[in-house]
Each structure stands twice: as C-alpha cells, then as structure tokens.
Amino acid sequence: MAKAPRSALLLLVASLAFLRWTAPSFAGTRSPKVALHSTLQQKLKAFGRQNSCTARAAVGIFYTTQTGNTETVASKLAEATGLEASDYDGEDFSELDGVIAGCPTWNTGADEYRSGTTWDDYLDTIKEYDLTGKVVAVFGCGDSQSYADNFCDGIEELHNAFQAAGAKLVGYVDESGYSYGESKSVKDGKFLGLPLDEDNEDDQTDDRIAAWVEQLKGEGMPL
C-alpha cells in the first residue's frame, strides 16, 4: 500500500492546529470555521487509519492437476479469497505466511505418490522444510463414484508432508456431507482438508468453497 505524502500530513496537522486557535469558544452557533475544523479532524483520523494498517500477510494458492479439475477449483478459490493461484513447481514457501495447497488423486490405491503430479516429486523435500509458524490448508479433487474407495486420498499425503515440516494445518471438513466408500484422508470423522468432486458434485463446489474460506479465516489463515 502506497504511503500518503508526508507533506499532506503536515498540511492537515497545521490546518487543524490553526483552527483550534481561531475557532469560536462560545456555544449555540456552528460557524464555517468550526465545520471546516470538524472536516479536517475526520480527514486526519482517516489518514491515521490508512497509515496504521499493516501489510497484508502473504498467502499463496498452489495446485497441480491431471484433468484440469484441480485447476478449476484453485481458480475458484483464488476468486473467493482475492489471491492468485499458481501451478506448483517446487516453491519452498519461505516468503509466505500461509499456503493453500491442492492436488488430485490419480494413482488410486497407492500408498504413496498418489497425485500423479509435480507434488509427488517434492513431497519428501517439503517434509524437510522448516514451516514452523506457517498456516497451511489442503484441498483435493476426487471421484466419489468411479473411485469411491480412494476418494481424495491425495489430501492426506499432502497434508502429512506439510505437517512433518512443522506447519499448522487447518481446514478440516466433516465427512457427513459426502457420499463415498473409503478415504485415507479421513481421520476421526473429518477430511484433512476440503474434498471436492468435480465429476459428480460440481454443483456443490461453489458453496463448499465459500464455507471453507470462512472456516479458514476463523482458524487462523491470514486471508
């Protein structure tokens, strides 16, 4: 955010000081000088509010995709949060305060490297990062009908990589709103992130994203 010119602040302060000395001391009337004095006070307060705002925390949305579904979801998340979504290519997240990471589940049934995307190449590397103090949330795309027994398995793997790096994980979603067989990403009745099904339930994606974004804000994601 650009800072207001120092000269503008000095002018406001000087004007306000002048009017304090020249404003009438009697009550019952509101002279033009008093009205101007009030206006200058309001502007000075607004100036102070503007310049006391801290810089917005840096949060990034990163995704990988196989069929385009995860990219579509990432774009919707970007619109909902005002952030930019980027195709993940090995970033180390060192300059960020928060990360929203998304992946598909492509290698269904696999114990590891389930996304079939660039994430798989960096999972072990991410585990070695020091992400202490950073807030991370994970989303994933799956097919709850054709691959019901491996629904959004990739969420767990990505979640665990960031957790191993010391990040604070947020954004767990209750499983009760989904119909599926099994998922490695469910622990104690909650998905370890936001699961989305663009193949069968794309009509629910927007509402799920909107609710999740509000949840993330309440859980410490600096949006």
CATH number of domain containing 115: 3.40.50.360
CB-based contacts of 80-83 (< 8 A; 24+ apart in sequence): 80/209, 80/210, 80/213, 81/213, 81/223, 82/223, 83/59, 83/223
Q: Kindly state the DSSP code that residue 129 receives in the 8-state scheme.
A: S
Asked if the model's pLDDT at residue 33 lies above 80, the reply is no
- What percent of the chain lies above the pLDDT cut of 90? 74
48 and 63 share a domain?
Answer: no
Instruction: Give burial (CB, 10 Å; 0-12/13-18/19+) of 53.
Output: exposed
C-beta of residue 76 within 8 angstroms of C-beta of residue 62: no
16 and 105 share a domain?
Answer: no
> How much is the mean pLDDT over the chain?
84
Asked if the model's pLDDT at residue 41 lies above 60, the reply is no
The mean per-residue pLDDT over the stretch 131-145 comes to 98
Q: Tell me the three state secondary structure of residue 94.
A: coil
Q: Is residue 148 situated within a structural domain? A: yes
* Token output for 112: 């590891």
Distance of CA 181 to the CA centre of its chain: 30
CB contact set of 193 (below 8 Å; sequence gap of 6+): 137, 138, 139, 140, 152, 155, 158, 159, 171, 172, 173, 185
pLDDT higher for 53 or 146? Answer: 146
The mean per-residue pLDDT over the stretch 134-152 comes to 98
Q: Is residue 1 situated within a structural domain? A: no
Q: Is residue 19 situated within a structural domain? A: yes
pLDDT, tens digit (0-9, with 9 covering 90-100), for 168-213? 999 999 999 999 999 999 999 999 999 999 999 999 999 999 999 9
The mean per-residue pLDDT over the stretch 119-135 comes to 97
63 and 130 share a domain?
Answer: yes
Q: Is residue 223 situated within a structural domain? A: no
CB contact set of 91 (below 8 Å; sequence gap of 6+): 60, 62
186 and 129 share a domain?
Answer: yes
126 and 189 share a domain?
Answer: yes
Q: Is residue 137 situated within a structural domain? A: yes
Q: Kindly state the DSSP code that residue 58 receives in the 8-state scheme.
A: P
48 and 96 share a domain?
Answer: no
pLDDT for 209 equals 99
38 and 74 share a domain?
Answer: no
178 and 135 share a domain?
Answer: yes
Place of tokens 């006391």: 52
Q: Which domain holds residue 156?
A: 59-218
* Token output for 98: 């928060």
Q: Is residue 73 situated within a structural domain? A: yes
pLDDT for 56 equals 62
> pTM to 2 decimals?
0.75
Which stretch of 45-54, 94-103, 153-162 has the lowest confidence by average pLDDT? 45-54
What are the distances in angstroms from CA 221 to CA 59, 98, 169?
A: 8, 6, 9
What are the distances in angstroms from CA 27 to CA 18, 23, 31, 126, 150?
A: 19, 11, 10, 69, 77
Work out how many domains the chain is built from and give that number. 2
93 and 184 share a domain?
Answer: yes
67 and 112 share a domain?
Answer: yes
153 and 212 share a domain?
Answer: yes
CB contact set of 83 (below 8 Å; sequence gap of 6+): 59, 60, 61, 77, 100, 223
31 and 105 share a domain?
Answer: no
